[in-house]
Amino acid sequence: KRRLLIFSDSRQDAAFFATYLENSYSQILQRRLIVSTLEKYREIAIRNKWRLQDLTGYIKRRLKELQLYPKLGDQSLENEAWKWVLYEFMANDRAIGLEGQGLLGFTPVLPSGWSPPPALCNPPWNLTEQEAVTLMMVLLDTVRHKGAIIYPDNVDPNDTFFTPRNREYYFTKCAPVQGRVLSWLPANDGGINTRWDYLMRLPSKNGEPATYKHAYELLKGIWDVLLTGQDHRAAWKDYFYSFIDGRNGTVFGLRPEYWELRPAIIDPDVKWYRCTKCKRLTLHNIRGVCPTFRCKGKLVACEPAKDLSRNHYRKLYTNTLPLTMYTHEHTAQLTTDKAAEIQKLFSDGEINILSCSTTFELGVDVGDLETVFMRNVPPTAANYIQRAGRAGRRTSSTAFVLTFAQRRSHDFTHFKDPLQIVKGEIKPPYIEITNEIIIKRHMYAVALAMFWKK
């Protein structure tokens, strides 16, 4: 019967936070289930070198076993599983997602028999064959991280699940205006982008510096020959889906089915690298250069299980007990009957978290509630005491009250000296009888009352 009461000073904030909490917790459980699926089918996943579609199939199986969505049929469960996997694949949450925590990475399967062309191994970069392969991985990651993928037919890219990237993105060779169609090459003369920036920061083994033209021509050649070419050298062409867009010509998106999992949570052979400056993790390392745009940090070998063992999000994804969460809002916009119904459900424990406005300050007894959160410092000590007083109203329970200070002068003042509001004196209520506005209101009230009485 774990319950949490959250106070906000505005109705809009209370309604928003109820939805935000439920979505955030759902995402934690989704990632926890992905991790537990990999752990459960560890041997199969490693032996068969799972790809995205394989993980999706086994997540669907787990959803059926656990009956998390009892009202959904097989097709709907598959749709749900695909959304979870694609969300991680695009790394919408770069820092706190499964990839950002070193639990699950993705790499494209190398084309059969492909070997890097001489252009990648010649001056000014002089890449080894393995470094040239890694370069392709890094460049394709820049497309993946932008969400330029082809969604399966049963997944809607406009689904709010993918917010704020719930729209389709594509790449083209050169897009002058950046929008849903992104540019592989720097869009303008003398312009730069992530791919150009990375190439320019790759040091040359022979000391020969790279020029703007060198990097531009190499990117252009990779696009024209390897990714979209028309002869046998276009080994990566099948990894993209292309079609003609009315305004932008031919546009391209990655095919997820060509990508393989790197399940570091179950495979100790997966090697990660971490930037000393931006702290991002990556599977790809060429001469210690961080692939993050304009980052001057250096990549060093990393063991996420050890180096991130105390990370809050990693703990959530690997140890969270999947309890059910039901949230609801309680504001003045609700009818009296609906508000009473929600209050009862919360008291009975059927609603775990209630996000409310000031409506819950007075005259509400929710039994053995133990925990209250405040989304901001209340206006006065009286408000604080009323809100904090919702918890610990039984001798058998203990109250825990947590107040968040927002970035405003009122909250900062009480953050610096919290006892002022926790132990502050409550001023007795009073009315300024010389206030002309109050006098008029009372006169109107008396006049209207007499009118209706007559």
Please give the single-letter amino acid code of residue 57: G
- Least confident range from 52-56, 273-277, 371-375: namely 371-375
**CA atoms of 273 and 276, how far apart (whole Å):** 10
Percent of the chain's residues with pLDDT above 70: 98
**Residues 113-148: pLDDT tens digits?**
899 988 888 889 899 999 999 999 999 999 999 999
How many other CB atoms sit within 10 Å of the CB of residue 273?
18
Please work out, in degrees rounded to the nearest 5, the angle formed at the alpha carbon of residue 252 by the alpha carbons of 249 and 257. Answer: 155
Ordered strands of the 181-183 beta sheet? 181-183, 170-172, 249-254, 240-245
How many other CB atoms sit within 10 Å of the CB of residue 31?
25
**CA atoms of 343 and 315, how far apart (whole Å):** 33
317-344 average pLDDT score: 87
* pLDDT class of 1 with cuts at 50, 70, 90: low
Pairing of the two strands 4-7 and 249-254: unpaired
201-227 average pLDDT score: 90
User: What would the two tokens of residue 263 be?
Assistant: 């399940």
Q: State the DSSP string of 381-403.
A: HHHHHHHHTTS--STT---EEEE
Nearest to 297 by CA among 310, 314, 280, 313: 280
Which one-letter DSSP state was computed for residue 374? E
- Decide if pLDDT at 388 tops 80: yes
Please give the single-letter amino acid code of residue 19: T
**CA atoms of 195 and 192, how far apart (whole Å):** 8
- Decide if pLDDT at 424 tops 80: no
- Decide if pLDDT at 322 tops 80: no
Question: Which pLDDT belongs to residue 189?
Answer: 82
* pLDDT class of 358 with cuts at 50, 70, 90: confident
**Residues 217-234: pLDDT tens digits?**
999 999 999 999 988 889
User: What would the two tokens of residue 72 be?
Assistant: 């959904």
How many other CB atoms sit within 10 Å of the CB of residue 433?
8
Which one-letter DSSP state was computed for residue 222? I
**Residues 10-21: pLDDT tens digits?**
888 888 888 888
302-314 average pLDDT score: 96
Contacts of 43 (CB under 8 A, 6+ apart): none
- Decide if pLDDT at 185 tops 70: yes
- Decide if pLDDT at 320 tops 80: no
176-188 average pLDDT score: 87
- Decide if pLDDT at 422 tops 70: yes
- Decide if pLDDT at 51 tops 80: yes
Task: Return the SS3 of 301.
Answer: strand
Task: Return the SS3 of 342.
Answer: helix
**CA atoms of 39 and 266, how far apart (whole Å):** 6
Please give the single-letter amino acid code of residue 4: L
Which one-letter DSSP state was computed for residue 208? P
- Decide if pLDDT at 362 tops 70: yes
Give the chain's mean pLDDT.
92
**Residues 26-44: pLDDT tens digits?**
999 999 999 999 999 999 9
Question: Which pLDDT belongs to residue 63?
Answer: 94
**Residues 258-271: pLDDT tens digits?**
999 999 999 999 99
How many other CB atoms sit within 10 Å of the CB of residue 104?
26
Question: Which pLDDT belongs to residue 404?
Answer: 94
**Residues 75-113: pLDDT tens digits?**
999 999 999 999 999 998 889 999 999 999 999 999 998
- Decide if pLDDT at 330 tops 70: yes
Question: Which pLDDT belongs to residue 349?
Answer: 86
- Decide if pLDDT at 397 tops 80: no
Question: Which pLDDT belongs to residue 208?
Answer: 78
Distances (CA, A) of 303 to 130, 273, 274, 283: 22, 8, 9, 12
Question: Which pLDDT belongs to residue 395?
Answer: 67
**CA atoms of 357 and 334, how far apart (whole Å):** 11
**CA atoms of 403 and 390, how far apart (whole Å):** 14
Nearest to 289 by CA among 377, 199, 374: 199
**CA 274, 279, 281, 284 torsion-angle sign:** negative
CA 5, distance to chain mean position in Å, is: 24
